[in-house]
A and B are shown apart, each in its own frame.
Chain A
Amino acid sequence: GIAAEKNDSSSDTARSGGTLTLAIDGTSAVNDPAFYTTLGDWMVVDCVCRGLTFISFETNEPTADLAESWTVSDDQLVYTFTLRQGVTFHDGTAFTSADVLASLNRQFNDADKTLPKGSSRPLKGIGDNLAALTAPDAATVVFKLKKPDRTLLGRLSDIGGRIISKAALEKYGAGIGKNLVGTGPFKFASATAGQNVTLEAFDAFRLGKPPIDRLVLQQVTDPSTIVSSLLSGDISATQFTPYSALEQLKGDTSVTVYDTPKSFDAFIMMDVRRIPELAVRKAINLAIDRQALITQAFFGAAVLPDGYTIPPNQDAYDASLADLSKTDVAEAKRLIQEAGATGRTVRLMAASDSWHPKAAQLITQNLTDIGLKVETDSVDPAAYFNRLFDAGDKFHDLMIWERNGYYPDADDMIGSLAKPSGVYGEFMSGFNTLDGSAAYADMLFEAKNIADATARKARYSEIQRAWADKYMTLSMLVCASNPVVSGTDVKDMNWKALGNHRCYVENASV
């Protein structure tokens, strides 16, 4: 804004001070690691709270954060964390193991008094696998697992693992989401649902006070307004830029468009209960013109899914899987004819926001071209999300969907997508009803705990190939990015993290 510029003009020498405004998808003004509301609200949690471990997304390895170091027992069942000393929370209290227990127990124990109604507890899964969580002393925390879990360190860096001041938890109880107190670079100042959250730089941040004074996460829902406010300078940066504007923005000198890593999967879920023939599902997979999707729906901010569901920014990415997502219209037609499915009506459901409707239109065309009749339904995201869970929904045959990596690990992608039990296997694709699907649970568990990265990658590739060949319940469309754009004056922003909806702007300046 204009007034903002005026305020800033006082300090033109040092690149410090000022306000950084990020456009976010929405805010309920509730920022609680145990309660998912919007991506934007969780970005606030990123800024306010840090966890035992940290993944910067510039590298995908978990590094030490509030835990200074850790040891893992040989049987992979006991993790002992040594906590960093001298860290203070925004409320002035010192960070100890008591805070860790208080924060993590909210994830593991659904009877915790400080949980608000309807909380989602993202680390619940770890809790299910936990034999004990103890703090032998103020500087040590010990996890005892039931079964080994190689992903523990990574998952602790996730939002659910963020540490909140125990004093604050006791003070605010279930209302903690409105008064979040952590050790992060920014402290909570104010928030208004549906509008914005204002944070202030935390002087005592353990890595030093951030250059900016104030961080505002501003809800902007209208896509064209996002573009306009980037251009007008009302917004400093965002990862919610509409794809169609990228070209325009690239040509504008007032903004920087980053080559954000292709980190999320865009795919079609096929409900095997509706489309029982594998041949038809494969035909559908072969029919899709992914190049058209990349240019016309993603405007270049996507790549072919050469690693099947593992996006290129993850270490299990294996380009040799490219053939699983190849396009062969003739073959597709042949398969359809062979299956006697020519003229069959398939129904396609897509959300009405972002790239989804456009992809739906392109895919409708592709499927029509191979002899299917397509009916589409485009619904608003909330309704769409609900209908995905309803196997009886009329449009449950084909569903366009996307999945971000919550933490950058193959287990989070193929691990959850190919699991027979769970949202994808049970609700959406009905994969669990197919012969042999049960084995995938064990295969995936075994794969994720393979310590050697190369061996693990090979195993994942095997699983993916087999899964796709035998079942084809999921057809990959593309791997795409959440394109980050910022004003040219914004420097040193961790845009790779932002591309994964993670907000690490403690080094950024305006």
Chain B
Amino acid sequence: MKLPTPLIELEKLRVDFGGSGGRRVRAVRDVDLTIYQGETLGLVGESGCGKSTLGRATVRVTEPTGGTIRYLGADITTLRGAHFRQTRAELQMVFQDPFGSLNPRRTVADIVAEPLLRARRTPRPEARRIVDDLLDQVGLGREAGTRRPHEFSGGQRQRIGIARALAPAPTFVVADEPVSALDVSIQAQVINLLADLIRERGLTMLFISHDLGVVRHIADRIAVMYLGEIIEIASRDDFFAGPAHPYGEALLSSVPTLSRQPRRERIELTGDLPDPAAPPAGCTFHTRCRYAVDRCRTEAPALTEVAAGRQVRCHFPLLPVKGPA
């Protein structure tokens, strides 16, 4: 295994949203996260826990309120102007909504060419050539370039979105639930396409999803988010063998499975995700944790390394010593 080089390093990254009536939502709270070159990091968590915000802040489409973002060791948190445009091309994003992420008034070729023309300042004829190749690569065919997004189905649109993200030849892509709006049969097509592209281009990816099954098929490592914090980071196999955080445990056990056998013990969480504007004191998960003790209610645990490459934010991590065999 080659020595992992950090590509993206997030340090104490924080995003606040000022709401109405003095309501402040801290969507991302002091996240430390390293994404290594060539890996796909799967980010999972409940709706509203801050996955998208973290993803967006990483590529700075949402400006972080605090902390630093390093790209290849360079601080890009406050980079502006031409320098930033250079970096911009390296960091791209695929969006969830195949309808809202494509400008309905522009042709597919225009949409895909835009980052080439702007961020890369590629001359038009050259951009045209790249776009044609890309459209072929994502399986739409170059003829698709003259048409407009509304003429395509959801899955095809998602391919357009992927082509656009790949156009400036980025090194890092945030994929924010790229398949969750698609039907299962189409989902599989797109996941396969992404997996191929990652392999062919050596992409590094932050893959956001709430579907553990999807993440399992594409990610190398898994990061679990809860209420704006990363609570567990583990390699894929370690995680699916048995999460170390009680939340991860519950999450995994809640996924309905396609198996005939009576399922393993189902750990049902009580209650909902707390209000992100007023997170509980101590461990943020203690309100729903079946193992919670007094310490959890007062003292916030830190994200600590419990095993090689495995970090957990819990006073009492569930050590993944034994599987169900």
A and B in contact, CB less than 8 Å: no
Query: Could you list which residues of chain A lie within 8 angstroms of chain B, going by C-beta atoms?
Result: none
